[in-house]
Structure 1
Amino acid sequence: MSGESSAHEQIKRAQALIDLGRQEQAVELLVTIPQTTPLLVATVNCFLAYAFAGLGKKDEAYACARRALEAEPNNDTALFWLAIVEPDDAAALQHTSRLIELDPDWVPYQSLHAISLLRNGRKEEAEAVAREAARQAPEDVYVLGNLGDVLQDKRSPEAEQVYARILEMEPDDLHARKALARIKQKDEADESARLYTDILATDPDQGDVALQLNWMVFGNMLSACAYVSTRYAIAWLLAGLVYAVGLRTVAVVIGLLASLIFVSRVARSFRSDTAKLGKALGMSPRAAFIRIYGKLPISSIMATLATIMMTLPPLIWAVLALVGRASSWWAAVGLPILIMACGWGLAHAAVRVVRTYQR
């Protein structure tokens, strides 16, 4: 058997390993293959990009895709992988535009182009392209997955139907399972937690799933805080109008009652989510909370402090206002608003920490 024939046989074995989810073994095999021709350089590095992308090693995948394209500048497979792992949104759009020029009839390239359009904020175009690709390839899981991602970004309820359809065809499709769990995370926390735990049961190495379980509680809690903050503004504006006509005690009582209602809403949301999480994990809500807290302690602490800072200042101020007047406008209004604003900033920082871990 010639050296080139042997190399192609090894590449086939590496592809089979990737298809079985054994990317690390595929990488070990691929790096031993002599890359004696531009075609072999491109082919080996395309499969390395494929394997590294599956392992979540985007930098390595990007480097391999670049090497493949440098070896064969018109290799559409190399360009395809480069577009997938390209960190720059504008460059990714250039890659997919060129892919379509190279092969305008290949539907997966059109589908990937939709994702690049989405990354560049062109949501309407992205949806149109993704829908057309799905119309042409209604049984292609990859194409449907990209349509689901586009619709999910637009917060369309149709995204759930697309992912459910994928799971009818491919029950073990990890991307669709994760996406469906993410959609249900806010309003159907128990079902979301069940989907996530099912994924972990079959693949404990899915670290991002463990993070999603954590954020299912803390993310929902911060969402409840955001909802409450807008209601705070309305309630205390009404209280301010009552105060302006001289009814100071009535104004403070209105603010106090509103604050109690809003704080209890956040607390109910937290208790509900931890109860649903505990049910999905087969443990008490307290044990479930301790478990997910430990998965991402930094952002969990930040989210907890942010919740306190965003919800409690108006309540504390209202209680104090009932027993005495504030010493100044700053003490009465400025300080609570500053604390709540800091809470918003801390909440934003917590979200950034989670996204960093997810990458």
Structure 2
Amino acid sequence: MFLFGDIMRKDYLIKRGIYYIIVWFVGITIDFILPRLIPGNVLGSIILGRIGGNLSAYGQNVQQEIEVLVQQLGLSQYYHTPLYIQYFDYLKEIIRLNFGPSLTEFPVAVGTIIAEAAPWTFGIVIPAVVASFFIGNLLGRFAALARGTVKDYAILGLTMFLYTFPVFVTGEILIEFLAVDLHIFPTGGQYNTFVFLKPTLSLPFVWSVIYHAILPVSTLILFSLAGWIIGMRNNMIPILQEDYMNYYRLMGVSEREISNKAYRLALLPNFTSFSIALGYSVLGAVAIEYLFNYAGLGYYFNQAITGLDYPLLNGIFFMLVTAMVLSNFVADIVYGIIDPRTSHEETEGV
């Protein structure tokens, strides 16, 4: 406890905690506002879709049928309740983690959809972030040690090439080349639905899940690789030129040992960015899951936008905001432990 208290000051933790609580509160407020700014009419989108848009089939009872559906789906609050009351009701339900039933998947609860979809999302995000972290840092180290050479320029050229491609374009290229043309991987889905009617714990099912996840994971890796390469290269080059590194050279320390020391020091800032990258990759998965028909949070997020499903949008956006805030808070704590000067400098400046 003494060591932790010496490394991480309590006032630093409190200050950062309050800051991120405010950020989280602003985020969930935006979560309430944004869906209601989407053009369209939730009544027309949901109800007319459910009755097939054929109002004449209901004859004179059409209004009665619509009112029944309004009550069943809980849509009356969007038309008969002032917006500020909707907002306070929303905050109360947030505390209880109750978002109500989904409108597009009625009567399935939003919490049930998120609980089923989140593991699929994190199942592709976590391996992608871990793989891109190690591959990117190793390539960045190689570029820093080969600074100014053809190898360095080749890695930088590859990095800039990857950086210019939006994630959905990268995914489209992989699908077209590896799935459609070469038939090496499936074009989408979470597993082979022709063989497995539902998830099981069998080895064939696990292999099917891994096989279907290769392209989405590869897309995320390529999407995030450039940041790690540039970060490591830019961190490592100044360290290699420090006076104490030259002192090591004068003392006869081998370049291999010097590069290892510089790599470990340059890795610290990137390591603290790992949790932040995890949060941003969850956001990046929104486009990838839609592209690969992968039923994670991103897939249902796109479906909710199309169907103006306010409860589902609120629930998923709440998960994304919370993940981002927590990842940044964890990164601050880790960086404060690794480099205690940051916590002392910030609190002394207050």
Same fold (TM over 0.5): no
- Relative contact order, higher structure (CA 8 A, sep 6+): 2
Q: Indicate the structure with greater helix content.
A: 1
Q: TM-score range by the shorter chain?
A: under 0.3
